[in-house]
Structure 1
Amino acid sequence: MTIIDSRLVRRAEHVFPGGSINDFSLPADRGIVVDRADGVDLWDSTGKHYVDFLLGSGPLVLGHGHPAIVRAIAEQASRGSTYYLPNRPAVELAEQICHFVPCAESVRYCSDGSEAVFYALRVARAHTGRTKILKFEGGFHGHTDYALQSFVPTGAPRYPTAFSDSLGIPDAVSDTVLVVPYNDISAVEAVVAEHGDAIAAILAEPVQRGICAAPGFLASLRAVADRIGALLIFDEVVTGFRLDMGGAQSLFRVTPDLCALGKAMSGGTALACVAGRGDIMDWFAPSMAPRGVYMSGTLNGNPLGCAAGLAAVNVMHEIDGCGIITDLGKQLQAGLSDVFTDAGVAAAPIGVPAFTDVVFGRSEVRNYRDYIDSDRQAAIEFGSRMLAKGFLIRPGSKIYLSAVHTSAHIEAFVSAAAEVTAQMRGEGLLAEASTGVLPNTGQPHDENLTRA
């Protein structure tokens, strides 16, 4: 039985809405308050140990407390925590971003991925003189009004109408967003035929949730954007410095005009950036005022965050961290596939190896509607039971890997997944597979993957 630190959980409930500091909470009987973490080991306030596959929702590609990152932060803290001015760590990290990321000719820092996407959309509208954004249903691009559109729509689709995902967002904002299904280039073409001259940007995650782009889909978006004079923006907050040092755009050989980066390049600190073509990024220059594009923040480019990010990027490059994560992910996906096949249940891991999602009740997932048509309750129950076994994941969401996980961690996870799957099947909670081997589940096609 899981021991809950009920007093500390109740204290959290008194000071945080719903007892959570973010957009989700764990099941009531499995709620935890973290005490400490080291590498991929995490302990809650009761002393219970977890192997961490949540990794702060993705930033910790080198685990908790990596010595190089701790050292970089400590050394910089003795020199100053923020200046509101260019500084050595900020310059050196920007140089690394421009070196590795194909679209990056210039960089502007902010504090999180949501801000990075927001500013990318703002500068796209300024650069093109247009107002509308084309995005894909189910794609999450942060918490801003313009991005938080049709991420989790519950009603029947009415493409290209966007539905806001939060109260407090004016309808006028939703009217500037056009929505189509992911992996459907014909739907893109239909919307472009009617609205093409009003579209400032096409915004896409190169891997949406755990859904991989179909062969040629990203290249087709590049071609459409070029044809109508719109910008192509990749939200690489999850994929950047994780799939490859150059991100998904390097791996898939499709270069956007702008990209948003965060998470893996942050060293676990509050750091993100917009990167892209120099002529577009120049709109952010102070010399463009008062008719430029405003982008500023008190802690933008702060040396603590940039020192941590620089250390993370350098270590990932030195050890081929992206390759390590990919290899571990392949082991995880193969192991989970064997578990589900052996158990005879309709379930499969989807996504790129670097972050895996597990779907139940479907054999193919190409877009958001396929995803929510899967057995989401089974996915959440599976994740909740894995949590109880000491594997920290967000139930029903991505399983993140780091370069400091080991093959033994993967073996332990797969072994626990086999036990959970057998239990759930025995309780009648999982649908049986119609055949012994599940069809294609949206894994990336080999011709789309070319590690730089």
Structure 2
Amino acid sequence: MSITNQQLFDRAQRTIPGGVNSPVRAFRQVGGVPRFIDRAEGPYMIDAEGTRYIDYIGSWGPMIVGHAHPEVTAAVQKAATRSLSFGAPTADEIDMAEAICKLMPAVEQVRLVSSGTEAGMSAIRLARGFTGRDAIVKFEGCYHGHADSLLVKAGSGLLTFGNPSSGGVPADLAKHTLVLEFNNIAQIEELFAKRGSEIACVIVEPIAGNMNFIRGTQAWHQRLRALCTEHGAMLVWDEVMTGFRVALGGAQQVYGIRPDMVVMGKVIGGGMPLAAFGGRADVMAKLSPLGSVYQAGTLSGNPLAVAAGMAQLRLIQQPGFYERLSATTQKLMRGLEAAAARHGVPFCTDSEGGMFGFYFSTRLPQNYPDMADADVEVFKRFFHAMLDRGVYLAPSMFEAGFVSAAHGDVEIEATLSAADAAFAELARG
């Protein structure tokens, strides 16, 4: 007896809040019934009804070599025969740490954890412990996990501390977080001029992926680096999305800037729960068991996750990997722009490596207010028009998209054919 996505969603809502284990999966912004995925291979996902989709979320970034890559799955299967977890050190953890330190320009030492939220939370605690300061700076529209200090929105003015953006976040904790506008140099200069001695760290996605794909400008990033150095604050780059996604050396390679600490995840786990934070050796030396900043995790460095991650890290270091990935992404972006232009639909795109964004606008957004002004109804219509034609995009206009090495000419041409029809629908009104 076959089962439908609607039946699964109805069942899920009886025991899981909202029927999902992460909010964006609920399709609340776009409407309709979430697709319950049964399996995936290469660039495709197949739902419970047997419908196949070309996948452009890739588990929100990790699946850079495609789903169920034989070398990755074989590594996990081999590791599983040795036990699923030890709660003790392994040689494989050293291999991963050495690989990350070799590939990431700013990372001299690294600590493995299990999620991006855990890594971001730990990096902030370490920055506070290293500097002896409490205040942190983040930017509207950047997401660094759901730790209390980060679920904060801007206060009533530039120099006021933030307010909770989620229930359950104490105001006394949120007040230590300042929220500024992405890509706004004047704001960050004014803040440091007034409160530079209070700031433990500035945490930022170098290329934002949670207000769609919005890149920080070179000048803005350079100014952040200079101000943090001048005032003794830590510059923390959240490369959970961009790390090993936009280039082998992450956004650090793209911009030529060295942050003090880096938060990583997604690609380094190969689809398994694995993340990390690392940076300067003198900063990392403050971490327990060497220093006074406590951090621990029973499943940190889990052997299956490390095996998957190491297999994927080997694959992405093959000659020409990023050149091919970037070329595929660019072909998709140029094709989408051409299809929109044929039907007179205002549209533009941006991308780096295997990460991309598209916007129903004639100009690229620079910050969250730009995205918040976008027409969500147009996005919803486009999303469903593509989904109905077998193309699975992020079910929110505030999320970046991802191309894998498994996407080839067949998948790109099929996507562009679907897009041509979808833009035609939009043009008809």
Smaller-chain TM-score bracket: over 0.9
Structure 2-normalised TM-score?
0.93
* Residue 69 of structure 1: aligned partner: 72
Q: Where does structure 1 lack aligned partners over 5 or more consecutive residues?
A: 428-452
Inter-partner Cα distance in structure 2 for 1:4 and 1:48: 11
Whether the 8 Å CA contact 1:261–1:273 is kept in 2: the answer is: yes
Inter-partner Cα distance in structure 2 for 1:380 and 1:193: 43
Aligned 1:211-250 pairs, distance under 5 A: 211-250=214-253
Q: Is residue 100 of structure 1 aligned with residue 116 of structure 2?
A: no
Give 3-state SS (helix, strand or coil) of 1:363's partner.
coil
Q: Is residue 177 of structure 1 aligned with residue 183 of structure 2?
A: no
Inter-partner Cα distance in structure 2 for 1:333 and 1:143: 31
Residue 325 (structure 1) shift: 2.1
Whether the 8 Å CA contact 1:241–1:322 is kept in 2: the answer is: no
Inter-partner Cα distance in structure 1 for 2:218 and 2:102: 27
What is the one-letter code of the residue matched to 1:410? I
How big is each residue's C-alpha offset from its partner over 1:55-96, in whole Å with a ceiling of 9 and x where there is no partner? 111111111111111111111111122222221221101110
Instruction: Identify which of 262, 275, 282 aligns with 1:272.
Output: 275
Inter-partner Cα distance in structure 2 for 1:29 and 1:127: 47
Instruction: Identify which of 32, 39, 44 aligns with 1:41.
Output: 44
Give 3-state SS (helix, strand or coil) of 2:73's partner.
helix
Q: Is residue 401 of structure 1 aligned with residue 403 of structure 2?
A: yes
Whether the 8 Å CA contact 1:358–1:379 is kept in 2: the answer is: no
Q: Is residue 259 of structure 1 aligned with residue 258 of structure 2?
A: no
Inter-partner Cα distance in structure 1 for 2:284 and 2:96: 17
Bigger shift: residues 81-90 or 232-241: 81-90
Aligned residue pairs total 418
* Residue 383 of structure 2: aligned partner: 383
Whether the 8 Å CA contact 2:245–2:355 is kept in 1: the answer is: no
Are the structure 2 counterparts of residues 388 and 163 from structure 1 closer, same or farther at C-alpha, using a change threshold of 3 Å?
farther
Bigger shift: residues 261-270 or 55-64: 55-64
Q: Is residue 412 of structure 1 aligned with residue 411 of structure 2?
A: no
Inter-partner Cα distance in structure 2 for 1:157 and 1:408: 51
Bigger shift: residues 5-14 or 302-311: 5-14
Whether the 8 Å CA contact 2:278–2:284 is kept in 1: the answer is: yes
What is the one-letter code of the residue matched to 1:127? F
* Residue 53 of structure 1: aligned partner: 56
Residue 28 (structure 1) shift: 5.4
Whether the 8 Å CA contact 1:362–1:374 is kept in 2: the answer is: no
Q: Over aligned residue pairs, what C-alpha RMSD do you find?
A: 1.7
What is the one-letter code of the residue matched to 2:235? L
Residue 23 (structure 1) shift: 1.3
* Residue 204 of structure 2: aligned partner: 204
Aligned 1:296-335 pairs, distance under 5 A: 296-335=296-335
Structure 1-normalised TM-score?
0.89
Are the structure 2 counterparts of residues 158 and 408 from structure 1 closer, same or farther at C-alpha, using a change threshold of 3 Å?
farther
Are the structure 2 counterparts of residues 149 and 350 from structure 1 closer, same or farther at C-alpha, using a change threshold of 3 Å?
farther
How big is each residue's C-alpha offset from its partner over 1:144-178, in whole Å with a ceiling of 9 and x where there is no partner? 1112223xx7xx97434423221110111221111
* Residue 140 of structure 2: aligned partner: 137
* Residue 189 of structure 2: aligned partner: 189
Bigger shift: residues 310-319 or 346-355: 346-355
Whether the 8 Å CA contact 2:148–2:173 is kept in 1: the answer is: yes
Inter-partner Cα distance in structure 2 for 1:262 and 1:314: 16
Inter-partner Cα distance in structure 1 for 2:413 and 2:33: 24
* Residue 86 of structure 1: aligned partner: 89
